[in-house]
Structure 1
Amino acid sequence: MRTMADVARHAGVSVATVSHVLNATRPVRPATRDAVLRAIDELGYIHNTLARSLVTSRTHSVGLAVSAISNPYFTEILQGVEAEALATGYGLLIADPHDDPGHELSVVRMLHERRVDGVIIAPSAEPSALLAYLDRADIPAVFLDRLVDEAEEPAYDQVCADGVAPVRELVGHLAALGHRRIALVAGLAGLSTTTERVDGYRQGLDAAGLPFDPALLAHGHSASEGARHATERLLASPGRPTAVIAANNAMTIGALQALRDAELRIPEDVALVSFDDFEWADLFSPSLTAVRQPSRDLGGLALRLLLERLDTPGRPTRTVRLPCTLVHRTSCGCPPGAAGLPG
């Protein structure tokens, strides 16, 4: 195997200079840096990051634990984390906790055993065992998408999208279109995302002067099949809703299936809107009015916060919320090309 000394001789520089180029520990003149990189390429040298980690106690790798990696929302988050990791020279180990507290603890322990420098986690609805392990093992961590601590200065850094205002806006828009029986198919109980979207729903009803009817709030457990059954129950109730808000993209699919099975037209019979936009939402007929979350930005920001924590362990923790965008299409009942949102 080629060594750093071989690269230094080939490039006509010192071993220290090669180390500075590889580890970015000191500025190197562009011409010298190019010579080192050219020597690395010509010799086929591979940097021994394991040896470096033994010296620095850092592996320059991070763990990412998010459920439903196949979900387009989390896929985009993954892309954001991966792009930021690549730009900063970090490797990425990925695990799926399956929204199960026991499995969540197992995968985070597995990442820790592989000596990642820190972890980014979308926590389950019951993260108490996870939090105890992180605290006991003193693992730098950032919580992503779902909050675990609402304190002004939480125990860990957290990154999420605003879950209240967008749903409030959806309710207001549907009310302005004349809907008085607006249902919400909410996510898995115990998740902060579910709580915030229910809060936004109730605030929207209150702002529109509409009473809250518990019969119009159904839980789809954040999954397509659960949302299909929840929507079926809503449609079978005596006071059938005239509009349905699905609280994530998977549940939108389930709600859509239930409406199609009931042979109800969208939006003529029941309007359908979604919290979560996805790539093919405008290919539906009618196209789907949806809240778009800044998924890639959330992922990139989570990694930056983790690296800041690694560089400055004692700095104050913070929770960062990013705004969402309401993408106006036609499933809400507005005509194609309608400018802006009434209400």
Structure 2
Amino acid sequence: MPTMADVARSAGVSVATVSHVLNGTRPVLPHTRQAVLDAVDALGYTPNTLARSLVTARTRSIGLAVSAISNPYFTEILQGVEAAALDAGYSLLIADPHDDPEHELKAVQLLHERRVDGVIVAPSAQPHDLVAYLGRHGVPTVLLDRVVTTGGDAAQGGFDQVCAENADPVARLVTHLAGLGHRRIGLVAGLPGLSTTSERISGYHQGLTAAGLGHTHDLVVSGSSESAGAERATADLLSRADPPTALVTANNAMTIGALRALRRLGLTVPDDIALCCFDDFAWADLFSPRLTAIAQPSREIGAEAVRVLLDRLAAPDRPARTLRLPCAFVHRSSCGCPEEAGGAEGPSPAEAGGRTEPSALSEKGTAS
């Protein structure tokens, strides 16, 4: 089996230069780099990752803990993480925490014990033990999709965070429905305790205020971020004496549950009730009517989380930061608009006229 020394002799360079080329630890002249790579190909050299990790204390691996099995949204994020990690020469170890705090802690512990260089985690609604463990052991961490805050400070405990905008896109859905004449707009919200849930509820109220409508707390129900919960919540909401004429669902799983409830009740969209949803998904435009939705940049969120983690590994003392990526308003017909109105528009907190393009990624830096 060829060694690094064999590659160095073949390329006419030092072993240190071969190491710099393969590990990216120092710039190398282009023609020298190409000579090394040609020698690697000709000899069939394979780097000894285990031996290298013993020397550098790095395994060039990233741990990812997201509930990808049960949530299609996280499946797309996983694809973004995997592509960016492989691009950077990192392998990926994946664990599914099932959105359960106890399971979440065990999953991250196992990843840490396998000596990953850092972890990317979508925290549960009760991440206290997780945050304590990561902080106690100094694990380089990026919190994904859901932010963790204490006393209003983002990037709790020095953790970087990457997520989508939540409040303004939901406000956009509400003001759009209000602009179509709806005065009672319901919200099927997510699991209590998640930052995405509280932010989307806040956006719902912002939208009502922007539209000049009163805050009707009786029209906000919890679908627990899953299909069955949303089905029950939607049925309960529509059984009330003065039900909503329009509905906003706060994630893709709950959209499916709400549609099941509407079908069971014999109601059609948008003739009997208008429907808009947070989270676009692959088959949203195959429904009849096609679903008006907020589309999150799922794969880019995953890729950005990898880039932020690599920045953290390169500069461990840099201030923690929270990055929010913009969403897009995908205008179809479930809101009651004509089919030909379809198209994607940029984010806006209110239906104030005119179309805007998605804004640049926003960054908030906070000291740990």
- Shorter-chain TM range is over 0.9
Conservation of the 8 A alpha-carbon contact between 1:154 and 1:319: no
Shift in CA distance, 166/335, structure 1 to aligned 2, threshold 3 Å: same
User: Aligned partner of 1:64: which letter?
Assistant: L
Deviates more, 1:13-22 or 1:131-140: 13-22
In structure 2, the partner of 1:42 is 42
User: Aligned partner of 2:121: which letter?
Assistant: I
Can you give the 5+ residue segments of structure 2 that lack an aligned partner in the other structure?
Answer: 346-350, 353-368
In structure 1, the partner of 2:280 is 277
SS at match of 1:256: helix
Show CA shifts across 1:313-343 (max 9, x none). Answer: 1111111111111100000000012278966
Conservation of the 8 A alpha-carbon contact between 1:154 and 1:318: no
**1:21 and 2:21 equivalent?**
yes
SS at match of 2:187: strand
In structure 2, the partner of 1:87 is 87
In structure 2, the partner of 1:256 is 259
**1:323 and 2:326 equivalent?**
yes
Distance 1:123 1:296 in 2: 18
CA deviation after TM superposition for structure 1 residue 152, in Å: 5.5
Can you give the 5+ residue segments of structure 1 that lack an aligned partner in the other structure?
Answer: none
1:223-302 counterparts in 2 under 5 A? Answer: 223-302=226-305
**1:205 and 2:208 equivalent?**
yes
Show CA shifts across 1:231-262 (max 9, x none). Answer: 11112111121111110001001111111111
In structure 2, the partner of 1:51 is 51
SS at match of 2:340: coil
Given candidates 179, 187, 190, the residue that maps to 2:190 is 187
Distance 2:280 2:259 in 1: 14
In structure 2, the partner of 1:151 is 153
CA deviation after TM superposition for structure 1 residue 142, in Å: 0.9
Distance 1:13 1:118 in 2: 33
Given candidates 291, 311, 315, the residue that maps to 1:312 is 315
Distance 2:74 2:52 in 1: 32
CA deviation after TM superposition for structure 1 residue 66, in Å: 0.7
**1:176 and 2:184 equivalent?**
no
Conservation of the 8 A alpha-carbon contact between 1:153 and 1:316: no
CA deviation after TM superposition for structure 1 residue 89, in Å: 1.3
In structure 2, the partner of 1:112 is 112
Shift in CA distance, 226/102, structure 1 to aligned 2, threshold 3 Å: same
Distance 1:318 1:25 in 2: 25
Show CA shifts across 1:159-179 (max 9, x none). Answer: 111110011111111011011
In structure 1, the partner of 2:336 is 333
Deviates more, 1:230-239 or 1:108-117: 230-239
How many residues align? The count is: 343
Distance 1:110 1:91 in 2: 16
CA deviation after TM superposition for structure 1 residue 265, in Å: 1.0
Conservation of the 8 A alpha-carbon contact between 1:160 and 1:298: yes
Distance 1:258 1:229 in 2: 7
SS at match of 1:337: helix
SS at match of 1:183: strand
Distance 1:9 1:338 in 2: 66
**1:218 and 2:243 equivalent?**
no
Distance 1:88 1:240 in 2: 52
Distance 1:50 1:69 in 2: 30
User: Aligned partner of 1:249: which letter?
Assistant: N
* Percent identity for Structure 1 against Structure 2: 66
User: Aligned partner of 2:176: which letter?
Assistant: H
CA deviation after TM superposition for structure 1 residue 56, in Å: 1.1
Distance 1:57 1:209 in 2: 58
Distance 1:38 1:263 in 2: 67
In structure 1, the partner of 2:357 is none
Normalised to the residue count of structure 1, the TM-score between the two structures is 0.95
**1:4 and 2:4 equivalent?**
yes
Normalised to the residue count of structure 2, the TM-score between the two structures is 0.89
**1:161 and 2:164 equivalent?**
yes
Deviates more, 1:3-12 or 1:191-200: 3-12
User: Aligned partner of 2:153: which letter?
Assistant: A
CA deviation after TM superposition for structure 1 residue 30, in Å: 3.1
CA deviation after TM superposition for structure 1 residue 40, in Å: 2.1
Conservation of the 8 A alpha-carbon contact between 2:330 and 2:342: no
SS at match of 1:120: strand
Show CA shifts across 1:295-327 (max 9, x none). Answer: 112111111111111111111111111111110
CA deviation after TM superposition for structure 1 residue 70, in Å: 5.1
SS at match of 1:318: strand
Conservation of the 8 A alpha-carbon contact between 1:235 and 1:241: yes
CA RMSD of aligned residues (A): 1.7
